[in-house]
Structure 1
């Protein structure tokens, strides 16, 4: 459960929220609607921990994992599919630990990590990433092209795929369908409904 209690948020002299309270229960899907500058992105930044409220607080379980769509994408030499998979931080950490266990010839650690990889369905991550990217309009050839070769709109699609591939308790989507055509927008909605 997410609880906003007596929040006050200002941007300069402008008050965005004043003594605002709300509760969001697990499983609820919430949309924030309002004109530009009213504080929608600010509220998401508060949830991510990127800023603090002037008064009040936000609480949610510390064990929750959170995913969000980054608004910026660096011009990387990384292939598109690897960039998307990088969004699954737990998978990448287990992959790193497995390599270290292999380097150390630690059979016990290798077996333990394989069990953890099984638990997160890691063996299908390449196909899941490819399916997401194909659904967002990327061709098979584009999956191996570097992130830096894509325009801003296509990079936003990469960021969306990166957020959707994560297992998360809380998924924050700030204008997620910007730069998406109808089919890609429908896929994004379908994926969000599964969460």
Structure 2
């Protein structure tokens, strides 16, 4: 559960959030809807522990796994599908641990790591990554192309897929429909409906946000949004 209590956030002399109070329960999908500059992205930055509140408090489960879309994508030679799989940090850590155990010929460690890989359904990760990329408009041929081949907009789709593949308790999406065509927007909406953690999308398009509007928590801001 996430609890905001009498929260205040300022940017310089401007008050973005003032006395904001809300509770987000596990499994809820919350959309932040408001005009530019009212504090939506700032609230997500608070959840990511990138900034501190100027007043009030936020309580947040310390063991929750967060996922969000990176805003920068270097021109990597890495294939697109492998870049997306990097979003599952636990899988990559276990993959490295398995390689080390194999190099040491440590049978006990190998069995232990295999058990952990089974628990996270690791053997299907490549097909799951491909499914995400197909939903976001990538062709089979593009899955193996290097990240550096793609334009900025398509790299943002790769970053989105990277966030979606992470097994997160809280998924933060800041304007997730940027750079998406209509088919990809529809696919993402369906995907989010099936997401079992907490989704906190900042949704700029009214069409995409309609299905979440009933669960939207109206944070009070200085602009009365």
Give the TM-score category using the shorter length.
Answer: over 0.9
SS in 1 for 2:83: helix
Q: Which residue of 1 aligns with 2:112?
A: 112
CA contact (8 A) 1:87 1:165 kept: yes
Matched, 1:61 2:66: no
SS in 2 for 1:180: coil
CA contact (8 A) 1:3 1:22 kept: yes
Q: Deviations over 1:169-193 (max 9, x none)?
A: 1000110011111111111111111
Matched, 1:25 2:28: no
Output the CA distance in 1 between the equivalents of 2:133 and 2:81: 8
Matched residue count: 195
User: After the TM superposition, which parts of structure 1 deviate over 6 Å for at least 4 consecutive aligned residues?
Assistant: none
Output the CA distance in 2 between the equivalents of 1:15 and 1:75: 38
Q: Which residue of 1 aligns with 2:152?
A: 152
SS in 1 for 2:53: coil
Q: Which residue of 2 aligns with 1:167?
A: 167
Q: Which residue of 2 aligns with 1:48?
A: 48
Deviates more, 1:62-71 or 1:82-91: 62-71
Q: Which has the higher contact order (CA 8 A, sep 6+)?
A: 2
Output the CA distance in 1 between the equivalents of 2:106 and 2:160: 37
CA contact (8 A) 1:69 1:174 kept: yes
Q: TM-score, normalised by structure 2?
A: 0.84
CA root-mean-square deviation: 0.9
Q: Which residue of 1 aligns with 2:124?
A: 124
1:136 positional shift? 0.9
CA contact (8 A) 1:164 1:191 kept: no
Q: Which residue of 2 aligns with 1:135?
A: 135
Q: TM-score, normalised by structure 1?
A: 0.97
Question: Which consecutive residues of structure 2, in runs of 5 or more, have no partner in the other structure?
Answer: 196-225
Output the CA distance in 2 between the equivalents of 1:60 and 1:18: 19
